[in-house]
């Protein structure tokens, strides 16, 4: 049966500015496998859907750009360490260093060069979810999610290679 009710209007914005980027080292590790430590020049994009507010916005572009930039700046020029890893032993920061052990390998890094992120793996997929969570929390704290229904964050490791995380803003 087809409803005579009109579908609600959904508007969207997309922000993928040149400055929404970060350069970081990382490695993927799971039991029995560890990539070599390497880095990427990551590019972040944000897509937001929702209803049009009385202001004429779903959400202000400027707010999305500002908050996303604050998040990526915390990751920039750091070694990303997955704090919830099931195979890494992370000690620190203590005495200005972070020690990371994986099986027989050990990394000792200056604490100021490390960003321990609450993820299991430092994959682009989990980084996209982490950035989504941080952005959604920052927007919610500012009361800026009233008209937003869905948000998606993309994290590209390089041209033509990106991971996306999409969720309802009511999910947090």
Domain containing 55 — which CATH number?
Answer: 3.30.479.10
For the chain, how many structural domains are there in total? 1
Which of helix, strand or coil describes residue 39?
Answer: strand
Any bridge partners for residue 168, and if so which? Answer: 150
Q: Residue 6 domain-assigned?
A: no
Q: Residue 110 domain-assigned?
A: no
DSSP E strands in the chain: the ranges are: 11-15, 21-26, 29-30, 33-34, 38-50, 78-82, 89-94, 97-102, 105-110, 114-117, 148-158, 161-168
Looking at residues 122-130, what average pLDDT do you find? 97
Q: Which residues contact 23 (CB under 8 A, 6 or more apart)?
A: 39, 40, 41, 42, 76, 77
Q: Is the pLDDT of residue 2 over 70?
A: no
User: For the segment 36-75, what is each residue's pLDDT rounded down to a tens digit?
Assistant: 999 999 999 999 999 988 888 889 899 999 999 999 999 9
Q: Residue 127 domain-assigned?
A: yes
Q: Is the pLDDT of residue 170 over 80?
A: no
Report the alpha-carbon distance of residue 109 to residue 141 in Å, rounded: 33
Q: Provide the H-helix boundaries in the chain.
A: 61-75, 124-141
Domain hosting 52: range is: 11-82+117-171
Q: Residue 61 domain-assigned?
A: yes
Q: Which residues contact 31 (CB under 8 A, 6 or more apart)?
A: 86, 87
Report the alpha-carbon distance of residue 84 to residue 69 in Å, rounded: 24
Q: Residue 24 domain-assigned?
A: yes
User: For the segment 63-121, what is each residue's pLDDT rounded down to a tens digit?
Assistant: 999 999 999 999 999 999 999 999 999 999 999 999 999 999 999 999 999 999 999 99
Q: Count CB atoms within 10 A of the CB of residue 103.
A: 13
DSSP letter at 8 equals P
Q: Residue 32 domain-assigned?
A: yes
Q: Is the pLDDT of residue 172 over 60?
A: no
Q: Which residues contact 3 (CB under 8 A, 6 or more apart)?
A: none
Token pair 């700046």: residue: 73
pLDDT band at 146 (very low <50, low <70, confident <90, very high): confident
């Amino acid at each position: 049966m087809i409803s005579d009710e009109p579908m609600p209007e959904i508007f969207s914005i997309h922000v993928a500015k040149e400055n929404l980027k970060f350069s970081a080292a990382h490695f993927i590790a799971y039991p029995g496998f560890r990539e070599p430590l390497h880095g990427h020049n990551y590019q972040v994009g944000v897509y937001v859907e929702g209803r049009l507010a009385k202001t004429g916005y779903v959400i202000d572009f400027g707010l999305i750009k500002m908050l996303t930039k604050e998040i990526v700046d915390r990751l920039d020029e750091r070694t990303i360490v997955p704090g919830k890893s099931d195979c890494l032993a992370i000690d620190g920061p203590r005495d200005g260093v972070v020690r990371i052990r994986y099986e027989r390998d050990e990394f000792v890094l200056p604490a100021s060069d490390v960003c321990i992120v609450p993820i299991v793996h430092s994959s682009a997929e989990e980084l996209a979810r982490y950035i989504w969570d941080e952005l959604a929390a920052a927007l919610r704290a500012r009361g800026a999610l009233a008209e937003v229904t869905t948000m998606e964050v993309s994290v590209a490791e390089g041209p033509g290679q990106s991971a996306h995380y999409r969720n309802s803003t009511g999910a947090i």
